[in-house]
Chain A
Amino acid sequence: MQVMVLKVSVLVVLFCFSQISICFADEQLEEVNNLKLTALNKLDKIKSATSIQIIANEIKAIQDLIENSNNLIKEGDYEKASYVISIAMVYFNLIEAKIDYNNSENEIKDIKNKMD
């Protein structure tokens, strides 16, 4: 009788664990997908707004990271996928900085031309 009770309790615990892990996985997947969507939207905006030549490397890096996260989602490694997509999100600041730097260089060129 005691063995039976133990078996049943172990099964119940196992079931609970599996449910909890499924819930966490769903949340993580949703989070990763949301991040991916925002990254893709931002990427589209940047592509249409600015000249891509200056920031070609960064755009490629972001696209690679998004692809990488897609592969990781397929493999079921949601945690790592979320890390990868978060790294992609940080690249947008770098793009902003590069564009700002490029603009400042152009401003200086304009002033120098005017002085000549």
Chain B
Amino acid sequence: MKKIFILILITFAIPKIVFSWDKEKTLEVIKKSEILMMELDNDINLQEHIPYNFYTEAIINIRNSRTHLDNKEYNLAYFYSSISIIKLETASFFAKARKNRIQKIILENNYYKKNAQKGKVTEDKYEPGNYKFITYANLFRKDNIYRNEILDNDLFNKTSYLINNKGKMYLDKTIEVMKKFSNTKIKIIGHSSFNDYNKNSEKKSLAIKNYFIYNGIEAIRIETIGAGNRIPMNTPIGFRRIDRIEMIISGID
């Protein structure tokens, strides 16, 4: 009877020790992930562009795999190390993409500076449709519309939605464009970085609308939207939720 009881204990109570992902294979994968981590760490060109969500997750996974290896849990160790390899590769590709985007911005700036010097694009003179963007008012062209995004810090006072001097300077330029092209319409979209429970994004856009009306733009030509934090901003370092005002002008062409 005792023998039967011991046999039952052995089969049910003691956990399984046999694993199909063996120690050597697991060690090999862990080493590969650690080498990848070191390479990415020491890559001077990519260091500042690495997205840290993927990178830190990968490092935590490598640490987990080492811990599981020490506990002889080869299945889990293999799982964590192989995931860390994929995450490190992902981080590397995202970093390369970010680096390219920054390089692109530099190239674009150089291109427009050169053309401005040659007289092709001037800061004070603008004509619709001829140039990539209206430099005077920082309006970037996309298809038939012109867009401009201004951060809250550049527009409003710190404590309220009163427009500061710098903001007035930016807005006056846009108002000038609106006055020059009388058929244009403007859409003012307020964005926030956090959940917009108090409808602050709408309040911001209304403040801008009031400034436009005060400066002689007809209210029919202005539309305001409070987008909250639904639409992230495309920045050189990826998409970010940033407190800002987006202005879209249509009808210039």
Contacts and interface: CB of A to CB of B under 8 A. Distances in A.
Contacts of B111: 111, 114-115
A94 B86 contact: yes
Interface residues of B, number: 32
A98 interface: yes
B8 interface: yes
Contact of A98 (B8, B79, B93): B93
Contacts of B97: 97, 100-101, 103-104
Contacts of A33: none
B75 A80 contact: yes
A87 B100 contact: no
Interface centre among B5, B20, B90, B111, by most chain A C-beta atoms within 10 angstroms, is B90
Query: Interface SS of chain B: helix, strand, loop or mixed?
Result: helix
Interface string A75-116: 001011001001100110110111011011101100110110
Interface in B83-126: 83, 86-87, 89-94, 96-98, 100-101, 103-104, 107-108, 111
A10 B8 contact: yes
Interface in B66-90: 75-76, 78-79, 82-83, 86-87, 89-90
Contacts of A3: 1
B197 interface: no
A23 B103 CA distance: 56
A93 B79 contact: no
Given A86-B79, A115-B107, A94 B90 contact: yes
A105 B75 CA distance: 38
Contacts of A10: 4-5, 8
Contact of A107 (B12, B86, B90, B100): B100
A101 B49 CA distance: 13
B54 interface: yes
A103 B104 CA distance: 12
Contacts of B87: 90, 93
B103 A93 contact: no
Contact of B86 (A87, A100, A104, A112): A87
Contacts of B91: 97
Contacts of B78: 83
A87 B83 contact: yes
Interface string A25-50: 00000000000000000000000000
Contact of B1 (A6, A17, A90): A6
A1 interface: no
A112 B1 CA distance: 84
A108 B101 CA distance: 8
Contacts of B79: 83, 86-87
A3 B2 CA distance: 11
Given A79-B75, A101-B93, A108 B107 contact: yes
Given A10-B5, A111-B108, A115-B107, A101 B96 contact: yes
Given A101-B93, A107-B104, 7 more contacts: A79-B75, A86-B79, A87-B83, A91-B86, A97-B93, A104-B97, A115-B107
Interface of B: 1, 4-5, 8, 12, 20-21, 54, 75-76, 78-79, 82-83, 86-87, 89-94, 96-98, 100-101, 103-104, 107-108, 111
